[in-house]
Amino acid sequence: MLYHPGKIIEVVKRKGKKTEVFALLEMWDENIFTFDVSSDISTKIKKGDYVLVDYTPISEKVPVPKQIVKVILSEDEGKKVWKYYKDYFEKKDDKPKNLLIKKPEGKDSVTKFVG
């Protein structure tokens, strides 16, 4: 099993024949994603929770991760795990850097943000 920690920014519930629950998450590596929430925890999940997202492959033949919020951590566990991952990320030398790319001056000159 492979899990990644995240922090719930927002919970979105969509009612229809079956209620679907999605969570907007900030991940430890500064990414932001929206994931399905497992029906086992969909009524308990709330903004501010620390969670684990299942990144186990869908199957042996399909190596795409499931990407479903599966576990709600206690506040103490969540803060410890979050701090550990964030500290690790901050120490990495190869993390993406924000770049400003400037084109030569002229009428078509544009500054673009990359990163």
What CATH number should be reported for the domain holding residue 87? 2.40.50.840
For residue 23, what pLDDT is reported?
97
For residue 47, what pLDDT is reported?
97
Q: In this model, does residue 33 exceed pLDDT 90? A: yes
45 lies in which domain range? 3-100
For residue 90, what pLDDT is reported?
85
Element (H, E) at 86: helix 75-91
Assigned domain for 107 exists: no
* Dist. CA 10–CA 37, nearest whole Å: 12
CA 41 to chain centre: 17
Average pLDDT of the residues in 29-47: 94
Assigned domain for 17 exists: yes
Q: From the CA atom positions of the chain, what is the Rg in Å?
A: 18
Whether this model's pTM surpasses 0.85: no
Domains identified in the chain, total number: 1
